[in-house]
Amino acid sequence: MTVSDPPELDLPGVYRVEKLSVKAGMPLVLDMTRAVYPHAEVYGDYITVQEHIDVPPAELFDYLSDTRSLGEWTYSMRNFERVAEPGPPSGPGNSDDGLWVSDDKIGDHTRIYTRTVVNAGARTVDYHCAWDQSEHLWMIYLMRVIDAQVVFGKPGSVVIWTNCRHPFYDENGHPETAPAGRPVWVGDFWDLFYAGHLLELRNLKAIAEYRHANGLPIKPDWMR
C-alpha cells in the first residue's frame, strides 16, 4: 500500500520532498510569495471570490438553486421568465430548473439566458449563461456552498464563486445574435469582474443574513 516512485514522478517541474528538501525548497516557495500581486496575475484568467455567510448551508443552497435568486442578489439580472423545462441530468446527482431568460441591465437592451445546474450532495450551483442566445451557454458561474462548521469551526456557510475567462469574453463568438448597434459587450467588463462579483457576493450575504436574522425564509415565498 505504500507509494512506489515510478520514474515519471521525476519530471521537470515536479517538486517532491525526496528530491527537494524543505530547507532547499524554501527559497523557491519564498520567491513565489510576494508582498503584493498584480491584478492580472490574480484575476487574469480566473476570478474566484469567497465569503462567509451566516446562514445554514442547506437553506442557502436551496435559495441559490433557484435561478430567480439571481434577480435579487445580482447587480443587473432582472425579470426572469422560464423558456424551457429542465433538461436531462449532466451527471449523477445533477439537476437543473430549466432554461430561463432575463434582462441584463449592464448590456443596454440585452437578454441573457441561464440554465442552473446543481448537485445537492456537493452543494454546487453552476449558472450556465450567455447573452443573446441559448444554444451555447459559455459564461459559467461556478459556485459552491460549504458548511462553515467543517472548514472554519463556526456556524453558517462559505460560498466560493469562480469564473473562467472563456475566449468569447474577448471576442463575441456569436456576433450575429447581438442586437444591432449595441454599445457594449459583456467581456468589456472582465477587468471589473473581481470587484463586481465581490460586490454581488456581498449583496447575497447582506440579503441572506438579513432574512436569517429576522426569521424569514432565505428563499422567499414568491419563489415557491
Chain positions 165 to 184 lying near its own copies, rule: CB under 8 A, are 165-168, 173
Instruction: Count residues near its own copies (CB under 8 A).
Output: 93
Q: Does 98 sit near its own copies (CB under 8 A)?
A: no
Residue 27 engages its own copies in binding (rule: CB under 8 A): no
Under rule CB under 8 A, which residues in 77-96 are in contact with its own copies?
78-82, 89-94
The H or E element containing residue 22 is helix 22-32
Please give the helix or strand (H or E) that residue 52 lies within, else none. Answer: strand 46-53
Q: Tell me whether residue 82 or residue 179 sits nearer to its own copies (CB atom).
A: 82
Q: Residue 204's closest CA among 35, 87, 54, 86?
A: 54
Q: Is 106 in the site for its own copies (CB under 8 A)?
A: yes
Among 23, 34, 109, 224, contact with its own copies (rule: CB under 8 A): 34
Q: Write down the residue that cell numbers 426569521 correspond to.
A: 215
CA 108, CA 105: separation in Å to the nearest integer?
6
For residues 207 and 73, the answer to whether their CB atoms sit within 8 Å is yes
- Report the side by side order of strands in the sheet with 139-147: 46-53, 157-164, 139-147, 124-131, 110-119, 94-104, 77-84
Q: How far is the CB of 151 from its own copies (least distance, A)?
A: 4
The amino acid that residue 78 corresponds to is R
Instruction: Give me the least distance between CB of 193 and its own copies, in Å please.
Output: 9
In the region spanning residues 184 to 223, those forming contacts with its own copies, defined by CB under 8 A, are 191-192, 194-196, 198-199, 202-203, 206-207, 210-211, 214, 216, 220, 222
Q: How far is CA 206 from CA 61, 75, 101, 203, 209, in A?
A: 16, 13, 25, 5, 5
CA–CA separation, 112 and 80 (whole Å):
9
CB neighbours (10 Å) of residue 53? 23
54, 59, 72, 97: residue in contact with its own copies (rule CB under 8 A): 72
Q: Measured from the CB of residue 121, what is the shortest distance to its own copies in angstroms?
A: 4
* DSSP SS3 for 147: strand
Q: How far is the CB of 37 from its own copies (least distance, A)?
A: 6
Binders of its own copies in range 131-170 (CB under 8 A): 138, 140, 142, 144, 146, 150-153, 158, 160, 162, 164-168
Instruction: Report in angstroms how near the CB of residue 17 gets to its own copies at its nearest.
Output: 5
**Closest distance between its own copies and the C-beta of residue 104, in Å?**
10
Is residue 105 involved in binding its own copies (CB under 8 A)? yes
Q: At what angle do helices 57-64 and 193-213 cross, to 10 degrees?
A: 120
Residue nearer to its own copies on the CB measure, 9 or 84: 9
